[in-house]
Amino acid sequence: MDKDIIQRRLDILEEAGVTFVCNTEIGKDIAAQELVDTYDAVVLCGGATRARGINVEGNDAKGVHMAMDFLTANTQNILAGEPQESKITAKDKHVIVIGGGDTGTDCVGTSIRHGAKSVHQFEIMPQAPDKRDANTNPWPEWPKKLKTDYGQEEAIYLTGSDPRNYEINTTKIEKNEAGEVTAVHTVQIEWKRDALGRMNPVPVEGTEKVWKADLVLLAMGFTGPEDTIPDELTLKRDLRSNIQAAETDYKTNVEKVFTCGDMRRGQSLVVWALQEGKLAAGEVDRFLSGETAIY
């Protein structure tokens, strides 16, 4: 999204009386309890920013980064208004992106624009069909079919090949004596049911492969919100470690503390964040005044 659009919206909010306090970490610079003690209502919408790591040998190698660290550094470089030396760059590097979601797509596209020598994207799930299966995925269900997003399209246009590799599992990250990543080891997998009927990835013998790598970007999703605020306020969590609150009123177990968006429902799309933010605002309005016109 064009940053001018975001800035325009920020200006509107400021004119409406919203105060933005930047470079301030709750739980570090200001105690979470201080907010609760000071204000009549507190809404927690800090997202689900705790990224999922990879538990394999060599995961501590130099050149292995969380996707959001890479993407954030790139955005900061763009916002600087002139070329800066990026903290993490894909220029002239062999890039491996582990994860097939939207964040992985952003990593592929950004790496291509940086001028990477090669980009490969690993997805542990099977490739989706080209067309919707009318029997197992009828309308109006969300169509479960192959989607080629902008990141893959740019890679295909520039290299002539799709960067995605499906049903592939990373088994090891290789590094040199200096601790720098040099390669990624993988194996193809098949999804099979166990005795309880659960689907599990099973390695396919003879499909081991070593991929040259100078930069590995982990885009495997998020495990929930950071612990600082929930722990300080003793907020209840659900089984996925998200802050527990009903969708009807967005109230937590702590008086006058609300939560919404990814912090409540887990990592998801921005449209859900917008919707929950609006509905939570309505519930705060109702909590403070007894009624609301926000729906």
The CA distance from 125 to 97, in Å, is 14
96: how many CB neighbours lie within 10 A of its CB?
Answer: 30
| Interval 134-141 mean pLDDT | 92
65 membership: H or E segment, kind and range? strand 64-66
β-strand pairing of 50-51 with 209-212: unpaired
Q: Where are the alpha helices (DSSP H) in the chain?
A: 3-15, 32-38, 67-79, 102-114, 150-159, 228-233, 262-265, 270-289
The CA distance from 256 to 210, in Å, is 54
Encode pLDDT of 214-231 as tens digits: 999 999 999 999 999 999
- Domain range 53-128+145-220, CATH class: alpha beta
| Interval 115-136 mean pLDDT | 95
The CA distance from 283 to 277, in Å, is 10
Per CATH, the homologous superfamily of domain 3-49+223-289 is FAD/NAD(P)-binding domain (3.50.50.60)
Quote the pLDDT of residue 82: 64
Asked if residue 21 has pLDDT above 70, the reply is: yes
Asked if residue 84 has pLDDT above 80, the reply is: no
- At 96, the pLDDT band (50, 70, 90 cuts) reads very high
126 membership: H or E segment, kind and range? none
280: how many CB neighbours lie within 10 A of its CB?
Answer: 24
- At 3, the pLDDT band (50, 70, 90 cuts) reads confident
- Give me the percent of the chain exceeding a pLDDT of 90: 89
Using left for φ > 0, alpha for ψ between -120 and 50, and beta otherwise, residue 97 falls in beta
Rg of the chain (C-alpha set): 22
The CA distance from 265 to 224, in Å, is 9
- At 83, the pLDDT band (50, 70, 90 cuts) reads low
- Return the DSSP state at 266: -
Domain boundaries, the chain: 3-49+223-289, 53-128+145-220
| Interval 80-109 mean pLDDT | 89
Task: Check if the beta carbon of residue 179 is closer than 8 Å to that of residue 198.
Answer: no
Task: Check if the beta carbon of residue 187 is closer than 8 Å to that of residue 172.
Answer: no
In angstroms, what CA-CA distances link 119 with 38, 68, 77, 95, 97? 50, 17, 21, 5, 7
The CA distance from 70 to 87, in Å, is 8
Give all strands (DSSP E) within 99-195, no chain letters: 118-123, 164-166, 168-175, 181-193
State which amino acid sits at residue 174: E
pTM for this entry: 0.85
The CA distance from 277 to 226, in Å, is 19
Quote the pLDDT of residue 87: 78
Task: Check if the beta carbon of residue 99 is closer than 8 Å to that of residue 140.
Answer: no
Asked if residue 275 has pLDDT above 90, the reply is: yes
